[in-house]
Amino acid sequence: MKAPWGRWSCAAIAAVWGAAAVHYATRELPAGARLNSAAQVAPSRDVTFRYDITGADAYDHGFTSHTIFEAMLRNIGAAASLVVLDCHLCSDTPVDTPDPIATPIPMASQLVDALLARKAAVPTLQVLVIADPRNGLAGSTLAPELARLAAAGIPVVTADLSLLRDRNLLYGAPSRLIAKLTGRSRAQLSNFKSSNRRVMITDDGHGELTALAGSAEPAMANSTDTVTALQVSGAAVRPLLTSELQLAHAFGWTGVLTVPAAAPIGPGLKDSSALDLHWLGEGAIRDALLRHIGAAADADSIDIACDSLSDRQLIGALLAAGQRGATVRIILDPRKSSSLWGSANQAVGSELIAASDGRIRVAWYRTHNEQFRAALILIHGSGPTWMVTGSASLTRRDLGDYDLALDAALSGPASAEPLASAQAFFDTLWNDRGPPGIEYTADADAWADPSQLRYWAYRLMELLGISRT
């Protein structure tokens, strides 16, 4: 009898495929990833919540602001020792569709101009840039804006996404095996992954560090989006800087960056409204969200403004919080697309409303050609307010240790300026407290999608790790 070689060969291939898939889905993350800093005490005067809003009326007469980008330029202009920029996108690729509300601006070029001008004015200034491979041809070449920095001798480190875990069970394992056998570029290993930390760390010219972290990025295509950010100054920034330098070294950077010595804390400077601050990266963000949402009950409120919500653990936690009596309000980007590959927001919004019997309320941001990229969660009640903001979307991709993402968590009295400002931002959008004629949000039925086909397509793609969100 002939040996069933075909059967054994298939079994061997399946075994290798499965073993590789498990290994690369659970592998150790590079140093600096999954940041979960110890509690940092941050006086409320050293923490600022920033946001940019784009809005329009029914006739596309609107406005947009760029306060976060303006803060980035100011921070660069004040730097005397160091600038560390970690960006997902830094490119002025032309916008495909003209924006009827506001003219996109070349943020990347302006940012590069500012960095080069400051480096010329302060030759000893240390500048380090970490960028997603998307800024160029999958890391083989740099985008023109970043190439200008490299030509000036500024280190530009391309994030090596092959060091991250694979969530795509169908593609990840065979692509890695093929790459090992054929020497293909890391581009094949980067599919469905991104370096999504959006942070700039500078010194203020007086020995203190300042971090600006959020959902904004210096790219013309995103220059009219609604975005959020948190600016933090002082010693609380140091754990974040350490994490960024560890990631840079993991990605192949061999340089050394001298950090200014921490300024001593003088007597009488303690702030009565001091906040507890934690820097969170990747899966540590989900852990913190599940813990605090899981503790919310009757008389507590959960307010969420985000571009994407699809993580199943988080959705389950929100439904459970609603059943316990917590008030849940969510503002989502409608991502007005009929494609099965589009955002899951419309299907998830419909699910949350139906499964909670209306206890969870959903509204849609009235986008035009721009996107709603806010990233904000507020949980408040009888105790301290807890807030998370940063670059992470509420997706398995960002919260499951597959992408690089960064958030800051704040806890303190609701009256503290950054917490009060964040709550006012959310309430302004939810209650349409804008200029006359401007409506920021629409009711749930405006873009809800009860289609079971799209819902189960999203669930399947989320399970297999092939969704684009």
Last residue of a domain, one of 210, 234, 250: 250
CATH of the domain at 383: 3.30.870.10
Residue 181 confidence class, pLDDT cut points 50, 70, 90: very low
pLDDT tens-digit series, residues 271-322: 556 899 999 999 999 999 999 999 999 989 999 999 999 999 999 999 999 9
Shared domain for 92 and 206, answered yes or no, is yes
Whether 319 is covered by a domain: the verdict is: yes
Domain check: are 371 and 419 in the same one? yes
115 belongs to a structural domain: yes
With beta carbons less than 8 A apart as the criterion, state whether 326 and 398 touch: no
* pLDDT at residue 178 is higher than 60: no
Residues in CB range of 267: below 8 A, 6 or more apart: none
- Per-residue pLDDT, 173: 53
Per residue in 194-212, pLDDT (tens digit) is 899 999 999 999 989 999 9
Average pLDDT over residues 102-114: 93
Instruction: Identify whether residues 217 and 341 lie together within a single domain.
Output: no
Q: Are residues 236 and 284 in the same domain?
A: no
* pLDDT tens digit sequence for 11-59: 776 676 566 666 667 778 899 999 999 999 999 999 999 999 999 887 7
CB 386 within 8 A of CB 410: yes
Report if residue 285 sits inside a domain.
Answer: yes
Domain match, 246 and 284 both:
no
CB 47 within 8 A of CB 232: yes
My answer on whether 293 and 217 are in the same domain is no
8 within some domain: no
Residues 298 and 444 in one domain: yes
Please report whether residue 30 resides in a domain: no
pTM of the model: 0.91
Residue-level pLDDT at 22: 67
How does pLDDT run across 207-226, given as a tens digit for each residue?
Answer: 899 999 999 999 998 999 99
- Backbone torsions φ then ψ of 448, nearest 5 degrees: -60, 150
Q: What is the mean pLDDT of residues 107-120?
A: 97
Could you tell me which residues come within 8 angstroms of residue 91 by beta carbon, excluding any fewer than 6 positions away? 108, 135, 143, 144, 145, 146, 219, 220, 221
Please give the mean pLDDT across all residues of the chain.
87
Count of structural domains within the chain: 2
pLDDT for the residue numbered 187:
46
- Whether 233 shows a pLDDT value over 60: the answer reads yes
Is pLDDT larger for residue 342 or for residue 260? 260
Residue 289 and residue 383 in one domain: yes
Within a domain: 383: yes
Domain boundary among 208, 233, 250: 250
Residue 466 — pLDDT band, cuts 50, 70, 90? confident
Alpha helices in 27-56 (DSSP H): none
- pLDDT tens readout for residues 400-436: 999 999 999 999 999 999 999 999 999 999 999 988 8
Give a yes or no: residue 144 inside a domain: yes
Domain containing 307 equals 275-464
Q: What whole-number distance in Å separates Cα of residue 82 and Cα of residue 264?
A: 19
Cite the beta strand spans of 183-233 per DSSP E.
199-203, 209-214, 227-233
Which pLDDT score is estimated for 59?
78
Question: 52: exposed, middle or buried (C-beta count within 10 Å: 0-12, 13-18, 19+)?
Answer: buried
Predicted local distance difference test score (pLDDT) of residue 135: 84
Does residue 212 sit within a domain?
A: yes
Asked if residue 364 and residue 407 are part of one domain, the reply reads: yes
Q: What is the pLDDT of residue 453?
A: 87
Residues 100, 237 within the same domain? yes
Q: What is the pLDDT of residue 20?
A: 63
Q: Are residues 215 and 359 in the same domain?
A: no
pLDDT tens, residue by residue, 235-269 = 999 999 999 999 999 999 999 999 988 765 554 44
Same domain, 317 and 233: no
**355-414 pLDDT, tens per residue?**
999 899 999 999 988 899 999 999 999 889 999 999 999 999 999 999 999 999 999 999
Alpha-carbon span 52 to 62, nearest angstrom: 13
State residue 197's pLDDT score: 96
